[in-house]
Amino acid sequence: MHQDYETLFYNKTTKSYNPKEIIEAWASIVETVQDGYNDVEPELEHDLLIRNKIENLIEDQELKQFQDHEMFKNQIFELDDKLKNLICINPKIKRRPDTKWLDFIILKKGRPEICERNKGIV
């Protein structure tokens, strides 16, 4: 049986989200960072985990066959670019080949203790 893009996408997400819901969730996190992230750092790490799941969807071979998937990727990449303008990459962390750009981020704007700790890096 042939599945349409939304059904296939929905079936590949652990909580059965459609592309629009995933984009909205990522946009919400980016907006929260833009406004000045006010949760504690472990919560930020948790919030950013969605991007790893998104990456798995982006790279999914079955989903890549659909034109709609290209639009999904473009919207995610636009949000990524917006986020990249709100962060710095921590130069003190050694990069490994298996790490992603989100593993090295430092917020430019957030809770005072996060900003204080990052003085001189940001």
Mean pLDDT of 38-57: 85
User: How far is C-alpha 5 from the geometric centre of its chain's CA atoms?
Assistant: 21
Count up the domains in the chain and report the number.
1
Q: Provide the b/e sequence for 28-63 (b: ≥16 CB within 10 Å).
A: ebbeebeeebeeeeeebeebbeebebbeebeeeeeb
What pLDDT digit, counting tens, does each position of 76-117 carry? 999 999 998 888 776 676 767 776 777 767 777 765 555 555
Question: In this structure, is residue 31 part of a structural domain?
Answer: yes
Residue 111 lies in a domain: no
Instruction: Confirm if 122 and 106 have CB atoms less than 8 A apart.
Output: yes
pLDDT recorded at residue 25: 95
Q: Is residue 41 included in any domain, yes or no?
A: yes
In angstroms, what is the C-alpha Rg of the chain? 16
User: Within a domain: residue 46?
Assistant: yes
Q: What is the pLDDT of residue 112?
A: 57
- Contact between 72 and 54 under an 8 Å Cβ cutoff? The reply is no
Q: Let me know if residue 93 belongs to a domain.
A: no
Helix axes 67-84, 41-59, angle to 10 degrees: 150
Among candidates 112, 114, 94, which has minimal Cα distance to 104? 94
Please report whether residue 117 resides in a domain: no
Backbone angles phi, psi at 96, to 5 degrees: -115, 155
Domain carrying residue 12: 5-87
